[in-house]
Amino acid sequence: MAPARPRVRSVTQSGDRSDAFVFFGATGDLAYKQIFPALADLIRDEGFDLPIIGVARSGDLESLKERARQSLADHGFSDAAATQALTDRLRYVKGSDEDIETFRALRRELGKARHPLHYLAVPPALFGEVVGCLQVSGCAAGARIIVEKPFGRDLASSVALNETIHEVFAEHDVFRIDHYLGKEPVQNLVYFRFANSFLEPLWNRDQVASVQISMSEAIDVADRGVFYDQTGAIRDVVQNHLLQVVSLLAMEPPSGHTSVAIRNEKNKVLESIRPLVPADIVRGQYQGYRDTKGVAADSSIETFVALRLHIDSWRWAGVPFYIRTGKCLPVTATEVLVEMKRPPQSLFGEAQPRDADYFRFRLSPDMSISLGALAKKPGEAMAGEPVELLASHESGSERPPYQRLIGDASRGDQSLFAGEELVEAAWRVVDGVLDGKTPLHFYEPGTWGPPEAVDVLVHGDRWHDPVEKLRVPATAAPHD
């Protein structure tokens, strides 16, 4: 247990650069899959020169260095100089996340460092213990911390976690990491909206009929049964990733490109979303999920969810925002489709086309922006056909999300991190449907979820299914 601590917070200056990087859970999966590759990329691309200290319960420095090398090899990292620099900078503290002596050893290992960045790659249940030990040992003085999602399991636990952390750290020293915000296509949503003047007159309730966000995964839960059966689709991706995307799509223009200005506008969006009620949501579970190791035989956890959001703002009142996400769907892809309202009448006497005009933002696995419209067919008749104007991005030069986010946190840049108010506002949206009491519908793997998913749609809307791979016309030039 962490010893009792006074309620005194340690505050950095916003311009201070971190002078050491500490990561707890150094032998875990997150470190292997994300942190080691991100640190190597930072060393290679940005001259990241901080001491790097791993904290874990087992192993030693040499085994940690070998694990770092294996991680980089598995991720195709081939820069020998950066690999050597990473292993040369590695240090190691062996001990428990709940033992104050571990943290005193860490303080000695930090040496002259006065502004360490602590990455808590540990379960949220340990955050309070770690934060308390950081303070008592002196490791919190002048420090920042990064914490991983899920930040709580519901609104009440999220509020309690924030209170625990704020006993020691000021809000501007807390970096709640959501790697989705660091993805280049997600950042492009903000850029495309506010760097182009033609979009603003269209981006409102007068012109937009609906907004649809689909995040589909073809994979099952694999070996994550224990985790997933305590989490489900709403907690796993809706409360964080997808509500963040909604906030970027629906936000008002920020007063400037600062973390505070952008956060303020995102907060306003989430605060204006009505809390979900059972009529807004359909939950599903793929057949065979209950046979997964670690999953309860009578599990009521959803592997699929479809829902409808209501944003009570001047810009978006009456425009439904739909979200659909799930495992074992036909493809792995994430798209945003903004459907425009139809013309008031058919000038050329044609039957109404199945789809109205739309903007489509492809976020993964490839990145593109599309405009769907009608164009005249060749010939004498005044008849049209659907066409799509496509700009695809294939440069391959984007920084991986964890590289971007760890680098930003070391500089104190909060732009791509979720603030306390944002996290709690997102929990407020979903809190009323987390009890698992809404009906659970079963669906076959490889389908688009249970047929009941259409029940959340209104105004004759339909689901738009992403395709697995963009079909770029031969005449289209990639956009770099």
186 closest CA partner among 243, 268, 121, 252: 243
Residue 301 lies in a domain: yes
Say whether pLDDT at 253 is over 90: yes
Same domain for 189 and 171? no
Same domain for 131 and 235? no
Same domain for 105 and 187? no
Same domain for 163 and 67? yes
336 closest CA partner among 210, 182, 476: 210
Question: What's the confidence (pLDDT) of residue 396?
Answer: 58
Q: What is the pTM of this model?
A: 0.88
Please state which of the ranges 193-207, 292-306, 391-405, 436-450 shows the lowest mean pLDDT: 391-405
Query: Rounded to an integer, what is the distance from CA 255 to the centroid of its chain?
Result: 24
Q: How far is CA 439 from CA 278, 302, 433, 435, in A?
A: 9, 10, 11, 11
Identity of residue 189: L
Same domain for 287 and 316? yes
Q: What percent of the chain has pLDDT over 90?
A: 70
Residue 4 lies in a domain: no
Domain count, the chain: 2
> Which residue range forms the structural domain that includes residue 137?
20-177
Same domain for 232 and 129? no
Query: pLDDT band for position 397 (50/70/90)?
Result: low
Sign of CA dihedral 26, 32, 35, 40: positive
Same domain for 274 and 232? yes
Higher pLDDT pick, 74 / 379: 74
Of the listed 115, 118, 179, 241, which one is catalytic?
241
241 classed as catalytic:
yes
Same domain for 191 and 338? yes
Residue 9 lies in a domain: no
Contact (CB, 8 A) for 478 and 321 = no
Same domain for 34 and 114? yes
Residue 461 lies in a domain: no
Q: Which two tokens stand for residue 18?
A: 């971190």
Largest CA distance in the chain: 84
Domain CATH code at residue 328: 3.30.360.10
Same domain for 171 and 198? no
Residue 477 lies in a domain: no
Residue 414 lies in a domain: no
Among the candidates 162, 177, 192, a domain finishes at: 177
324: left (phi over 0), alpha (psi -120 to 50) or beta: beta
Q: What angle do CA 404, 410, 412 make, to 5 degrees?
A: 100
pLDDT tens for 180-238 read 777 788 888 888 999 999 999 999 999 999 999 999 999 999 988 998 999 999 999 99
Residue 391 lies in a domain: yes
Among the candidates 177, 194, 221, a domain finishes at: 177
Same domain for 121 and 240? no
Burial pattern 141-174, b for ≥16 Cβ within 10 A else e, equals: bbbbbbbbbbbbbbbeebeebbeebbbbbeebbb
Residue 361 lies in a domain: yes
Say whether pLDDT at 11 is over 50: no
Among the candidates 177, 201, 217, a domain finishes at: 177
Query: pLDDT band for position 318 (50/70/90)?
Result: very high
Same domain for 387 and 285? yes
Domain CATH code at residue 40: 3.40.50.720
Say which residue the tokens 């738009």 belong to. Answer: 464
